[in-house]
Structure 1
Amino acid sequence: MEFRHLGSSGLKISEICYGNWLTHGSQVENEAALACVRAAVDAGITTFDTADVYANTKAESVLGEALAGERRESIEIMTKVFFPTGPRGHNDCGLSRKHIMESINGSLRRLRTDHVDVYQAHRYDLETPLEETMQAFADVVRSGKALYIGVSEWSAEQIRAGQELARQLGFALVSNQPQYSMLWRVIEGEVVPTSRELGLSQVVWSPIAQGVLTGKYLPGQPVPEGSRATDEKGGKRTISRFLDDTILERVQNLKPIASDLGLTMAQLAVAWVLANDNVACAIVGASRPEQVADNAAAAGVKLSAEVLSAIDAALGDVVVSDPALTKDSTPASRPS
């Protein structure tokens, strides 16, 4: 395993981060979830990402149980706040001071720790003044309940405004957590340059495009039984944009590139996002321990300029890179 600084901070995290969205407390049983976390630790992964909304808080509880025997100082735990939790009452979501303060306490209780390493705004909240949100995060940091603050799926303009307020309040945003893969590159035009300027790293989710970049989804064929595309709890919806026959055909063009490098398709996809020097880590999920080990092997893999060009040629015009799409992740109102 190799490690990178998170933004301009002194914190180092593992290049491969284990995330438990759509798995712990939902897709897989607790015994399998615990085995995946053990496989992550065995592979040298020290960074773990979750959120209070995942399986309506159950994912945090499972991760807390799985990490209970680990030396706390040797791991980095990230969680998030914004989306509805609990009974989904009128204040059970968003980035108000009330919800942030109540949510951090709940997350710490479920994760069985007195602090998280990175506490992230899961989305931008148009219904709360940004000053209120940043003041609440500043107080969370001063209380020792979170060591660093990050955001997720914020636009370049939102990151700039948030960082300005954060610095006025005596802390700094260190990370943004966006979707990023060979197929989905919308952060490259504006978010990445702004983040470099302001001292944030990307902590990217879906580097394998929900499994599409493994090559297991074939054009003109039914989706595999038990795959993410059959998951009615969220996986089917998030993968749908990539299940186009033209995209799937182009993905098959990547197989000889991966083979020539001695990599699996998943390893090639993860190595590709890590080739971006503004990416601190790639978040990978798993329902089986062997998937964790396979993805973790992408750490330290260096792709040449020739390989990167070959990937671009193989995928052609199916790549989505419009920076305006970064704004689509901001909900028009708080979800309920």
Structure 2
Amino acid sequence: MQYRHLGKTGLKVSVLGYGAWVTFGNQLDVKDAKILLSRCRDSGINFFDNAEVYANGRAEEIMGQAIRELGWKRSDVVISTKIFWGGPGPNDKGLSRKHIIEGVKASLKRLEMEYVDLLYCHRPDPATPMEETVRAMNYVIDHGWAFYWGTSEWTAQQITEAWEVARRLGLIGPCVEQPEYNLLARDKVEVEYLPLYSSYGIGVTTWSPLASGVLTGKYTKFSIPPDSRFSLENYKNLANRSLVDDILLKVDKLRPIAAKLDVSLAQLAIAWCASNPNVSSVIMGATKESQLIENVKALELLPRLTPDVMDKIEAAVMSKPKKPDLYR
């Protein structure tokens, strides 16, 4: 396993992480979670991601119980969770000081932990002043409930605003952003955030490297495996948006490239994400031990992703965003 600094912080995270979204509480119970988490640790993975909204809090409970029963040393792992959607009440959502503080306390209780290493603002909250959110996240850090804070799916402008507020107040700004990043979704990581890497030392921990499984090649327009994510009732709309002719054609064009490299499509897609030097960690979400074992082997492909191979991948998907002349 390789380890990278989380942006310009001193914290090191495994280049491949594991996330509880969809899986814990929807597809996996504590018993299954223990098997997968154990395999992660055997593979050298030390970064585990969660959120208060995942399975309405059940994902945090499962992860916390599994880690407790496995007897892990807390300092050996990096645990993150995210705050925004905490319940149905008017103050159970958003990034108000009230919800951030109450939300992180509730998350820690579910996780059975005294702290998380990293706390994300799961989405931007235009209804709350940025200064209130920045002060609240620093309050959380000052009280030892989290060591670092970050954002998820914020715009570069919003992250810049947060940093400028933090600098004006002499506070800690967000050190990391968690965006979607894969061969089909590249703009934010490769273009929008470019100025942030140097200006603020932002790292990125990316989610959905397989585009919710589309880049594994297991889906066709008319065939959805019964044990897959797209078979879940809550994800059928996503399936309808993802399994379209244009996207599936791109996946088919990637098949001969993976075959020539003697790797799976999943390994190719994950290795491609990890090859970006601005990516601190690629968050995976396997539901089976066999999937996890296969996906971790993607790291073996990294040295073989030569410029020629990368050009062939781009020719297949034709998804490279155009950079403004300012960034070239």
Q: Which bracket does the TM-score occupy, shorter chain normalised? A: over 0.9
SS of equivalent residue, structure 1 residue 78: strand
- Partner residue of 1:328? none
Q: Which has the higher contact order (CA 8 A, sep 6+)?
A: 1
* Equivalent residues of 1:17, 1:281 under 8 A apart: yes
Aligned runs of 1:1-336 on 2, under 5 Å? 1-68=1-68, 69-85=71-87, 88-167=88-167, 168-187=169-188, 188-218=190-220, 220-233=221-234, 235-299=235-299, 301-302=302-303, 303-316=305-318, 319=319, 321=321
2-side partners of 1:243 and 1:16: how far apart? 26
- Unpaired runs of 5+ residues, structure 2, are 324-328
- What is the alpha-carbon distance in structure 2 between the residues aligned to residue 196 and residue 214 of structure 1? 33
Bigger Cα displacement from structure 2, 246-255 vs 129-138: 246-255
Q: Percent identity?
A: 42
Q: Higher helix proportion, which one? A: 2
Q: Residue 184 of structure 1 contacts residue 320 of structure 1 at CA under 8 Å; is this kept in 2?
A: no
C-alpha distance in structure 1 between counterparts of 2:259 and 2:56, whole Å: 40
Per the alignment, residue 327 of structure 1 pairs with none
Shift of 1:44: 1.1
CA contact (8 A) 1:135 1:169 kept: no
Q: Which runs of 4+ in 1 moved over 4 A?
A: 320-323
Counterparts of 1:239 and 1:160, CA distance in 2: 34
Deviation at 1:257, TM superposition (A): 1.2
User: Aligned partners of 1:175, 1:322: CA distance in 2, in Å?
Assistant: 23
What is the CA distance between 1:256 and its match in structure 2?
1.7
Distance 1:169 1:206 in 2: 35
- Backbone CA RMSD of aligned residues: 1.6
Amino acid at match of 2:187: V
**Cα distance in 1, alignment partners of residues 134 and 185 from structure 2:** 29
Distance 2:29 2:299 in 1: 27
Please tell me whether the aligned partners of residues 22 and 229 of structure 2 are also in contact (alpha carbons under 8 angstroms): no
Q: Once the 2 structures are TM-superposed, how far is the Cα of residue 102 of structure 1 from its aligned partner?
A: 0.4
TM-score (norm 1): 0.90
Gaps of 5+ in 1: 324-336
1:237 Cα offset (Å): 3.3
Tell me by how many angstroms 1:239 deviates: 4.2
TM-score normalised per structure 2 = 0.92
Secondary structure of the residue that 1:189 maps to in structure 2?
A: helix
Q: 1:185 to 1:241 in 2, by over 3 A?
A: farther
**How many residues are paired up?**
317
What are the superposed Cα offsets for residues 3-55 of structure 1, whole Å, 9 maximum, x if unpaired? Answer: 00001101000011100101111122332222111111111110000001000
- The CA deviation at 1:320 is 7.8
- Measure the CA separation in 2 of the matches of 1:243 and 1:47: 30
Matched letter for residue 224 of structure 2: V
User: C-alpha displacement at 1:172, in angstroms?
Assistant: 2.7
1: CA distance, partners of 2:286 / 2:130: 35
